Each structure stands twice: as structure tokens, then as C-alpha cells.
Amino acid sequence: MKSAFLILTACFSLASTISSFGQAPGKINPGDKLPEMNTELKNVDGKMVSFHKAMDKNGLLVMFSCNTCPFVVKNEPVTKKVMAYAAAHKVGMVVINSNEAKRDGDDSYEEMKKYSKKQGLTVPYLTDNNANMADIFGANHTPEVFLFDGSGKLIYKGAMNDNPSDPSGYKKMYIFDAIDAAVAGKEMNPSATKSIGCSIKRKV
């Protein structure tokens, strides 16, 4: 009897350990609340911007991106459509550059300013020191999006559409559907898709 109790205890401890390590530290999932609401990141205009400031009536779209990733470049027309769609539906939006390992090159603050102007970005383009925000979100690719509804709940994360490798041939625009869901106060299905793009260049 005592042996059986010890075995059960060991199994319970193992299950607890597996559960505690089942989710990577900092990774957020659908249903989780927007983290770091009041943490400010530097925008390309020199001003400090928080998620709280950027959020609009129906939510906030957070996009991790950069200046030169081929997937980002191919999706620039899509990004512009997303900016317009979000604004029209009263969803705030920020673009975050977490490529800390390239701060002395293609993703320097000066290059970010040039990129924002060239692309006509109408939303804050923020620099993420040491990829801290990317680590908190669990973001690994550019582009990669996270949509929070008006209550600050994550309702969608992943790719903007079903064909990020060839955005001209997409059939499903996930992020539009997610924004529609946020406006309607509904759940998004699917609530998560696989993001495909360049890896975020964290500094080792």
C-alpha cells in the first residue's frame, strides 16, 4: 500500500513538472491578456509609445517585423492593407522591430526611420531593446502578428494570411477575419496559425 502511494505521489510530481515546463517562459496564447501594457518603446519619431496608448476601441494589433527580411518585403503590400483595415475598424496597431543583433546594420534605429518613411507607415514603428518584447510574446519570426480585442485578450496569433511565401496568391486573410471577430466581440477560428518568415535576430 505504501509502495502504491509512493508511486502515485511520484507520478503526480512528474505530471506537475511536465505541466510547468509545457509552456515556454514568456509565450502567450489565445485567451491571455496583453502583457506589458504600460511599457514604453521608442518610436521612429522619437516619442515613447506603450500598448495602452496605441490601443483603440476594438483592440490592438501587434506585428513583429523588420526592414529587410524577404518575407517582410514580399508582404509589404499586405501590411499596408492591414494598416488601413485596422484603422477603419478602430483597432490600434504597432509594428515592432526586435532584431537586436542587427542594430549596427540593416535594423539600426536610423534604418528603421528610413524604412518607415519609405513605406509610408501610418502606425508606430518601435524598437525592441534586447528583443525583450519578442521574448515576452514568444515571437520568433518576421512578420508575425498578435491581435488583442478591446478587453486586451489575445484572440489570434500567427501569420497574416494563408500564403506568406507568396502573398499575391493568398486565399484566406486570417488577420482580416480576426479583426472582424474583435469588432463583433466573437472568438476567432482558428485562433492561432503557424508564422512563416525570417527568424528574429536575437543577440547571443
pLDDT at 125 over 90: yes
Rounded mean pLDDT, 1-22: 36
Per-residue model confidence (pLDDT) at position 192? 97
Cβ neighbours of residue 10 closer than 8 Å, sequence gap 6 or more: none
- The number of residues in the chain equals 204
Q: pLDDT band at 8, cuts 50/70/90?
A: very low
Per-residue model confidence (pLDDT) at position 204? 84
pLDDT in tens, 155-177: 999 999 999 898 888 999 999 99
Per-residue model confidence (pLDDT) at position 155? 98
Per-residue model confidence (pLDDT) at position 133? 97
Q: Is the pTM of this model over 0.85?
A: yes
Which grid cell sits at 129? 531593446
Residue 30 neighbours by CB distance under 10 Å: 17
pLDDT at 138 over 90: yes
Which residue stretches of 75-195 are H helix?
Answer: 76-88, 109-119, 132-137, 174-184
Domain boundaries, the chain: 26-199
**CB-CB contact of 118 with 90 (8 Å):** no
Among 69-83, 140-154, 163-177, the minimum mean pLDDT is found in 163-177
Q: Which amino acid would we find at residue 107?
A: D
Q: Which of 146, 141, 125 is nearest to 195 (CA)?
A: 141
Rounded to an integer, what distance in angstroms lies between the CA atom of residue 38 and that of residue 126? 14
CATH number for 26-199 (one of 3.40.50.10490, 3.40.30.10, 3.20.20.150, 3.40.50.2300): it is 3.40.30.10
pLDDT at 9 over 70: no
